[in-house]
Amino acid sequence: MRPLFALAAPAFLLAFAGCNTSQAPAASAAAASTGNDASTATPSTDSGSTANDDPSATVAYPNADAACASGIDLTGFWGLAATGLGDERTSKLCQYAGNVVLVVNVASKCGYTPQYEGLQAIYAKYAKQGFTILGFPCNQFGSQEPGDAGNIREVCTGTYHVTFPIFEKVDVNGSTTDPVFAWLKSQPGGSGDIGWNFTKFLVGRDGKLVARWASQIEPENAAVTGDIEAALAVAR
């Protein structure tokens, strides 16, 4: 692995939870960056969807129970779980096994909050190819996510029209670190406390950490999209 962090329904209709957890069950629902690393990705020939498309009509994640019983390794990333935004339902991350996943700690009142636009754009572009984004609100940085689930939903859905899964508010540093972020920070290339909101972790189809980027690296940065395309090019 190249250096990553240089001091980064029927049930089949679990397409996404977005910020509006009433749409589907909740689940469907790094400090220095590697942003100037050269990407070896082969550009995708799949035109995907545009940022104005709604992937929900065409993208369906596997049935969570079936996916999680398919013999995949549940000792790592796929063995983790998250809580749906405002509904307290547990979502097993193993339902995303075989997909490429970008995990981001988000906030509603941050200077980087407009990155929701770029995140939604790359989600819409790559979702049909097996890509998703999992957003985790966090209030640890400047108290920039002080609201409840309704406030968070109003920003990400009402203002930024986000359709990728957003989960319950978590901590990403310290003794109360959520297990998802504890695992991400324990991986080669992912170590070190998170410095601010909108730190990004890319997980490949095999459930292994691919890259970590700092807050200031935009979602549509060529390093990010290059690594996403390279990860998507790997056979399921």
Active site residues: 110
Residue at token pair 């957890």: 21
CA dist 1 and 52 (Å) reads 35
Q: Residues 122, 163: contact at Cβ < 8 Å? A: no
CA dist 7 and 31 (Å) reads 6
CA dist 84 and 17 (Å) reads 8
Q: Which residues contact 71 (CB under 8 A, 6 or more apart)?
A: none
Identify the bridge partners of residue 92 per DSSP, sorted by sequence position: 81
CA dist 203 and 158 (Å) reads 28
Q: Residues 62, 95: contact at Cβ < 8 Å? A: yes
How would you list the strands of the sheet with 100-106, edge to edge?
A: 131-137, 100-106, 200-203, 209-213
